[in-house]
């Protein structure tokens, strides 16, 4: 009975899915002690290349110390039912299958069938896998026919034979000792590591795939974010640009506003001062006015006759008469003519004319200019009236007098002594310039003459046959359609226009004066004004008229055409006188249409218009008659006819009162004018102030609005900048993640490549090992055939020897020392005897066994590398076991011994053998077990 080490068995299998029951199985050890086969009584059938399902029952079947006997059942087993027809015979499969952690590591799978009694059929390419439920699936790919599977044995990897191939070495992590490991173990390790690596690679692949997906998603999100960011940037740029424009606009507006404000403040101060000043003045004037009115009333009350004069003055309204006397001409001086005009009271507006005899006639006018008074003085008094045309009043200034009295000199003047016309326009432009902040003006000039009751356009560039007529507009204004109206912008243009008119003027000559104008020369100035503050528009007209000479017909001695000219001139002048008279008497009908002159002047004579007449007189005694006539006419125009009688009444209180009244009236008029002007100025200033206030308010509103817009834009900009910052940070994060992913992917790819390379190397090595294995297996088969042959031969020889021995025994006598020995042998117990027999008879067999051992030793010595302690001890044990075996072989049947020899090619089996054969060697076996367990630990 052989001892069996149950630790060597990991799994007990049954066929056909039957549950293993310890008692219901035949169990035996096989030829070799280390191989245990459990056979199901029923057996299982295997379909052709089918799948055999077996159950694993690893617990409870065997306990440590269980003894299984060899041979008790082995003989009775019938494996010979089915013959494996095509499958390889006597081959051993050393494939190692690593399954789940839980499952055992399978070192080998032996499948027995009828190849020979108790000889296992080793099948190549058996696929074994362990499922999760513990079931083992075995697939037979290389077997044909219907073999009955009698038993399957699965063992631990620790039991793998050493002799199967090359050995490898492992470094112990604890002590650094190199441990030799068999190829199968290497395979296990490789498989383990490969499986681990494959698992890891698979995990890494999955991880890589996930990371790639993440990367892709991150990349897409990054792209989308970048696009958004780009859009936001563009928008931000636009907003910034808009903001910049707005800032600039606001800056401009603010600068404007500042200018306006400062201007406004300055103006306001000035206006305040001016208004205060004006208020003061008005107050003073009002007081004076009250005082004067009071005085005047007192006078009027005291002198009832003066009432008529007051009314006449009031009725005259704005008609003023300035009397100007020219100096004696050279001709007159040389002719010895005396001056008949007295200027002693000229400052008071009085002029005396020494008429025939010694009587002196006094004439009173608004102004009296002596021959010494120049153009400047004359215009200074006319200037306020001229300026009123800019305020919308119609004004008419005309020069009346006999031929050669200086009308043209006063109105036109010379280049060195400019007359009223030029100075008027100069003054207008000056005032326009002064008022440009508050008003705009357009000035148009037309120059025409009335000659023989016909109107001639003196500015017309080409002569036209069309007769110019006076027409009345729907607004009631009178104008001459088709007349040239030259727009003048500056004084230079004015001079050119005046020159053109002057040149075109019809000039004739007569006996009285060398260059006497026989027509009325009229300079019409139309002013279109717009008040920028209140938006008021006005159109007013100023006539500057150089009338034709007013000499008497008889004196000129004109005839024919000249007579006709003179008649027309006189008629028109008479018409002028009639109009003025009618105005003075407030007649219901004003005969404007009696002449072209009065018709043209209709808008500027009477009503609310202002009229100024320059009465031109000659100082010469030869013209005294004409001068008297002119003075009388002028007095009529002025409305107050101071008769010489009256003039000369110079007595008593009445005269004094008259003078006082006259003075008071004059002052009153001037004060009225000044007051009126001041009121106008105040009104204008108030309007301006209101306009400025409104403008200021509007500007303030605009500034407020712009400021709020700016604030909102700034806020928006701030928000956008914040967003941009956040997006940039996010983008940076994404980029970092992306780069990390890319780096990881690269690493994984590199590792994957390395793994693949190592895998391919491993596969290559595995293939090499397989080839080596095949070669070894073939060698082994050859050797086992030879051994069998030798075995048969040795058995035959043994039989022969036994036959010879028995024959010799019968024949020989006890005297033979050998026989005495045999007697001693007979006294021995049968096993000892058998042993002796074996010693004597099986010398050849032992020789054969020794030769096999020698071969094995040689192989071992050929194996590369040094052996570790464990393997050394294992080797020692093996030697011991070999010795024990050889001793044992003396007691066993030679055929069995041979069979053992064939199986003893596995190095580890020697340990088991030793333990099963001799209980005394159990300690050594224990040591071997410890070594084995150590090896397992290191392998793990
Ligand atoms: N105030 C004055 N000072 C110096 N010279 C004067 C003055 N007034 C007129 N004269 C001169 O007297 C002359 C005649 O003057 P002017 O031609 O102006 O007269 P008139 O009234 O226009 O004559 P007519 O009606 O024929 O045109 C001119 O030579 C002029 O220079």
What would the DSSP string read from start to end of 777-814? HHHHHHHHHHHHHHHHHHHHHHHHHHHHHHHHHHHS-T
How large is the average pLDDT for residues 688-694?
A: 82
Q: If you measure from the C-alpha of residue 15 to the centroid of ligand 1, how many angstroms do you get, rounded to a whole number? A: 162
- 835 domain-assigned: yes
The answer to whether the CB of 577 falls within 8 A of the CB of 404 is no
DSSP for residue 144: -
Handedness of CA 423, 424, 425, 426 (dihedral sign): positive
Token pair for 89: 């015979």
In this prediction, residue 893 carries a pLDDT of 42
**Between 341 and 512, residue with greater pLDDT:** 341
Strand pairing partners for 471?
479
Among 327, 369, 408, 412, say which to mutate for ligand 1: greatest number of ligand atoms within 8 Å of CB: 408
404 has binding-site annotation: yes
pLDDT band at 13 (very low <50, low <70, confident <90, very high): very low
ipTM score = 0.98
Q: If you measure from the C-alpha of residue 428 to the centroid of ligand 1, how many angstroms do you get, rounded to a whole number? A: 25
In this prediction, residue 301 carries a pLDDT of 57
Q: Which residues' Cβ are closer than 6 Å to ligand 1? A: 326-327, 329, 371, 401, 403-409, 513, 515-517, 549, 616
Q: If you measure from the C-alpha of residue 404 to the centroid of ligand 1, how many angstroms do you get, rounded to a whole number? A: 5
Cα distances (angstroms) measured from residue 269 to each of 261, 273, 420, 682? 12, 6, 37, 14
Among 322, 325, 326, say which to mutate for ligand 1: greatest number of ligand atoms within 8 Å of CB: 326
On the question of pLDDT at 124 being above 50, the answer is no
Nearest CA among 44, 34, 39 for reference residue 12 = 39
Atom number in ligand 1 closest to CA 513: 26
Strand pairing partners for 171?
178
Distance CA 292, CA 299 (A): 10
Atom number in ligand 1 closest to CA 516: 26
Q: Which of 55-69, 327-341, 468-482, 561-575 has the lowest mean pLDDT?
A: 55-69
Residue with tokens 């795939």: 209
Q: If you measure from the C-alpha of residue 633 to the centroid of ligand 1, how many angstroms do you get, rounded to a whole number? A: 20
Instruction: Give me the count of residues in the chain.
Output: 940
Q: Strands, DSSP E only, in 695-853?
A: none
How large is the average pLDDT for residues 763-788?
A: 84
pLDDT band at 173 (very low <50, low <70, confident <90, very high): low
Atom number in ligand 1 closest to CA 515: 26
pLDDT in tens, 268-277: 888 888 888 8
In this prediction, residue 445 carries a pLDDT of 93
223 has binding-site annotation: no
- 268 domain-assigned: no
CATH number assigned to the domain comprising residue 492: 3.40.850.10
SS3 for 446? strand
Distance CA 580, CA 320 (A): 11
Q: Where are the alpha helices (DSSP H) in 557-600?
A: 560-584, 596-600
71 has binding-site annotation: no
In this prediction, residue 177 carries a pLDDT of 67
- 568 domain-assigned: yes
pLDDT in tens, 500-525: 887 776 444 444 344 346 788 899 99
Atom number in ligand 1 closest to CA 548: 25
pLDDT in tens, 352-372: 988 766 678 888 888 999 999
pLDDT in tens, 583-641: 777 777 888 899 999 999 888 887 778 888 899 999 998 888 888 888 888 887 776 33
Cα distances (angstroms) measured from residue 728 to each of 232, 391, 724, 733? 11, 70, 6, 9
On the question of pLDDT at 914 being above 60, the answer is no
How large is the average pLDDT for residues 74-96?
A: 30
Q: If you measure from the C-alpha of residue 572 to the centroid of ligand 1, how many angstroms do you get, rounded to a whole number? A: 21
Token pair for 104: 């055992």
- 627 domain-assigned: no
Q: Where does a domain end: 136, 159, 182?
A: 159
408 has binding-site annotation: yes
Q: If you measure from the C-alpha of residue 375 to the centroid of ligand 1, how many angstroms do you get, rounded to a whole number? A: 12
Nearest CA among 678, 693, 702, 694 for reference residue 267 = 693
pLDDT in tens, 555-572: 555 567 777 777 888 888
Q: Whose CA is nearest to atom 20 of ligand 1?
A: 404
The answer to whether the CB of 784 falls within 8 A of the CB of 237 is no
Handedness of CA 252, 257, 262, 267 (dihedral sign): positive
On the question of pLDDT at 54 being above 50, the answer is no
- Mean pLDDT, the chain, rounded, equals 67
Distance CA 253, CA 246 (A): 10
How large is the average pLDDT for residues 26-40?
A: 32
Q: If you measure from the C-alpha of residue 408 to the centroid of ligand 1, how many angstroms do you get, rounded to a whole number? A: 6
Distance CA 208, CA 591 (A): 118
Q: Whose CA is nearest to atom 25 of ligand 1?
A: 403
405 has binding-site annotation: yes
Q: What percent of the chain has pLDDT over 90?
A: 8
- 419 domain-assigned: yes
**Between 826 and 494, residue with greater pLDDT:** 494
Distance CA 159, CA 903 (A): 13
The answer to whether the CB of 514 falls within 8 A of the CB of 438 is no
Atom number in ligand 1 closest to CA 512: 26
- 354 domain-assigned: no
Q: Please state the pTM of the whole predicted model.
A: 0.42
* Domain containing residue 566: 390-614
Cα distances (angstroms) measured from residue 420 to each of 417, 497, 627, 810? 10, 15, 22, 197
The b-or-e profile of 109-145 (16+ CB within 10 A means b, else e) is: bbbbbbbeebbbbbbbebebebeeeeebebebeebee
Q: Strands, DSSP E only, in 452-548?
A: 454-457, 471-472, 478-479, 486-487, 507-508, 516-517, 520-531, 537-546
What is the maximum span of the chain, computed from C-alpha positions, in angstroms? 236
pLDDT in tens, 182-234: 666 677 777 777 777 778 888 888 888 888 888 888 888 888 988 988 998 89
Q: Where does a domain end: 159, 182, 203?
A: 159
Distance CA 178, CA 172 (A): 6
pLDDT in tens, 397-433: 999 888 889 998 999 888 889 999 999 999 999 999 9
- 59 domain-assigned: yes
Q: Which of 124-128, 535-539, 596-600 has the lowest mean pLDDT?
A: 124-128
85 has binding-site annotation: no
Nearest CA among 216, 199, 159 for reference residue 182 = 159
Atom number in ligand 1 closest to CA 369: 1
Q: Whose CA is nearest to atom 7 of ligand 1?
A: 326
Q: Which of 341-345, 587-591, 715-719, 913-917 has the lowest mean pLDDT?
A: 913-917
Q: If you measure from the C-alpha of residue 420 to the centroid of ligand 1, how many angstroms do you get, rounded to a whole number? A: 14
Residue with tokens 């037979």: 140
- 741 domain-assigned: no
The b-or-e profile of 899-926 (16+ CB within 10 A means b, else e) is: bbbbbbbbbbbbbbbbbbbbeebeebbe
177 has binding-site annotation: no
Handedness of CA 14, 15, 21, 24 (dihedral sign): negative
Q: How many domains does the chain have?
A: 3
In this prediction, residue 789 carries a pLDDT of 86
- Which among 3-12, 630-639, 885-894, 907-916 has the top mean pLDDT? 630-639
Non-local (6+) Cβ contacts of 766 within 8 A are: 187, 190
In this prediction, residue 323 carries a pLDDT of 93
Q: Where does a domain end: 159, 193, 222?
A: 159
Please state at what angle helix 652-811 crosses helix 183-302, rounded to 10 degrees.
170
On the question of pLDDT at 479 being above 60, the answer is yes
In this prediction, residue 166 carries a pLDDT of 52
Distance CA 818, CA 823 (A): 9
In this prediction, residue 867 carries a pLDDT of 38
Q: If you measure from the C-alpha of residue 600 to the centroid of ligand 1, how many angstroms do you get, rounded to a whole number? A: 25
Nearest CA among 65, 187, 176 for reference residue 772 = 187
């Amino acid at each position: 009975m052989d001892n069996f080490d149950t630790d060597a068995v990991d799994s007990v299998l049954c066929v056909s899915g039957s549950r293993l029951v310890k008692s219901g199985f035949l169990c035996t050890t096989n030829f070799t002690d280390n191989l245990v086969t459990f056979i199901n009584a029923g057996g299982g059938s295997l379909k052709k290349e089918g799948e055999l399902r077996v159950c694993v029952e690893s617990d409870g079947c065997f306990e440590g110390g269980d003894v299984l006997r060899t041979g008790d059942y082995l003989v009775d087993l019938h494996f010979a039912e089915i013959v494996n027809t095509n499958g390889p015979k006597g081959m051993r499969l050393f494939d190692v299958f690593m399954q789940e952690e839980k499952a055992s590591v399978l070192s080998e799978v032996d499948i027995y069938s009828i190849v020979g009694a108790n000889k296992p059929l080793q099948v190549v390419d058996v696929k074994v896998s362990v499922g999760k439920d513990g079931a083992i699936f075995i697939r037979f790919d290389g077997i044909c026919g219907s073999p009955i599977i009698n038993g399957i044995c699965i063992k631990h990897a620790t039991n793998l034979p050493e002799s199967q191939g090359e050995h490898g070495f492992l470094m112990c992590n604890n002590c650094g000792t190199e441990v030799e490991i068999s190829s199968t173990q290497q395979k296990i390790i490789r498989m383990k590591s490969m499986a681990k690596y494959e698992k890891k690679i698979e995990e890494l692949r999955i991880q890589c795939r996930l990371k790639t997906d993440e990367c892709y998603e991150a990349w897409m999100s990054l792209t989308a974010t970048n696009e958004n960011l780009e859009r936001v940037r563009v928008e931000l740029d636009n907003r910034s640009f808009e903001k910049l424009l707005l800032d600039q606009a606001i800056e401009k507006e603010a600068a404007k506003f500042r200018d306006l404000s400062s201007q406004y403040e300055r103006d306001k101060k000035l206006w305040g001062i001016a208004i205060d000043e004006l208020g003061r003045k008005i107050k003073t004037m009002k007081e004076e006015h009250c005082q004067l009115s009071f005085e005047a009333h007192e006078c009027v009350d005291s002198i009832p006759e003066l009432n008529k004069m007051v009314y006449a003055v009031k009725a005259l309204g704005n008609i003023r008469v300035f009397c100007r006397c020219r100096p004696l001409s050279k001709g007159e001086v040389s002719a010895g003519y005396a001056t008949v005009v007295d200027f002693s009271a000229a400052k008071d507006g009085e002029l005396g004319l020494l008429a025939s005899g010694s009587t002196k006639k006094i004439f009173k006018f608004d102004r009296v200019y002596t021959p010494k008074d120049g153009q400047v003085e004359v215009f200074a008094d006319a200037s306020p009236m001229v300026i009123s045309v800019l305020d919308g009043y119609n004004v008419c200034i005309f020069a009346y007098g006999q031929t050669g009295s200086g009308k043209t000199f006063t109105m036109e003047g010379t280049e060195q002594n400019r007359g009223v016309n030029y100075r008027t326009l100069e003054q207008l432009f000056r005032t326009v310039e002064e008022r440009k902040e508050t008003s705009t003006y357009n000035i148009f000039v037309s120059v025409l003459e009335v000659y023989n009751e016909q109107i001639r356009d003196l500015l017309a560039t080409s002569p036209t046959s069309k007769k110019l007529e006076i027409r009345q507009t729907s607004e009631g204004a009178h104008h001459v359609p088709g007349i040239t109206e030259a727009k003048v912008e500056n004084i230079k243009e004015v001079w050119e226009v005046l020159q053109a008119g002057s040149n075109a003027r019809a000039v004739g000559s007569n006996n009285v004066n060398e260059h006497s104008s026989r027509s009325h020369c009229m300079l019409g100035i139309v002013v279109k004004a717009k008040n920028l503050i209140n938006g008021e528009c006005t159109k007013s007209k100023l006539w500057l008229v150089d009338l034709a000479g007013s000499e008497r017909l008889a004196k000129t001695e004109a005839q024919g055409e000249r007579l006709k000219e003179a008649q027309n001139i006189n008629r028109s002048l008479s018409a002028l006188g009639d109009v003025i008279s009618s105005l003075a008497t407030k007649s219901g009908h004003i005969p404007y249409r009696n002449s072209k002159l009065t018709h043209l002047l209709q808008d500027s004579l009477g009503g609310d218009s202002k009229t100024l007449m320059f009465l031109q007189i000659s100082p010469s005694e030869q013209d005294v008659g004409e001068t008297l006539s002119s003075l009388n006419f002028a007095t009529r125009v002025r409305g107050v006819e101071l008769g010489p009688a009256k003039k000369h009444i110079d007595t008593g209180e009445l005269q004094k009162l008259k003078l006082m009244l006259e003075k008071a009236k004059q002052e009153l008029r001037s004060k009225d004018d000044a007051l009126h002007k001041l009121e106008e100025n105040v009104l204008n200033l108030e309007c301006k102030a209101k306009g400025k206030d409104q403008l200021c308010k509007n500007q303030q509103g605009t500034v407020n609005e712009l400021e709020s817009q700016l604030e909102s834009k700034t806020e928006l900009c701030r928000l956008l900048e914040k967003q941009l910052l956040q997006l940039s940070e996010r983008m940076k994060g994404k980029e970092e993640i992306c780069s990390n992913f890319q780096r990881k992917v690269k690493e994984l790819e590199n590792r994957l490549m390395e793994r693949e390379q190592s895998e391919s190397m491993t596969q290559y090595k595995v293939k090499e090992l397989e080839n080596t294995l095949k070669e070894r297996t073939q060698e082994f088969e050859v050797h086992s055939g030879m051994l069998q042959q030798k075995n048969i031969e040795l058995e035959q020889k043994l039989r022969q020897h036994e036959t010879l021995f028995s024959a010799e025994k019968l024949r020989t006598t006890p005297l033979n020392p050998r026989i005495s020995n045999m007697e001693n042998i007979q006294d021995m117990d049968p096993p000892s005897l058998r042993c002796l027999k074996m010693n004597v008879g099986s010398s050849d067999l032992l020789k054969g066994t020794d030769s096999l051992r020698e071969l094995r030793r040689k192989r071992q010595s050929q194996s590369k590398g040094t052996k570790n302690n464990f393997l050394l001890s294992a080797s020692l044990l093996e030697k011991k076991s070999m010795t024990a075996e050889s001793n044992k072989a003396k007691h066993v049947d030679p055929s069995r011994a041979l069979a053992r020899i064939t199986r003893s090619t596995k190095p580890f089996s020697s340990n088991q053998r030793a333990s099963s054969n001799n209980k005394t060697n159990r300690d050594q076996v224990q040591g071997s077990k410890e070594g084995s367990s150590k090896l397992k630990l290191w392998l793990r």
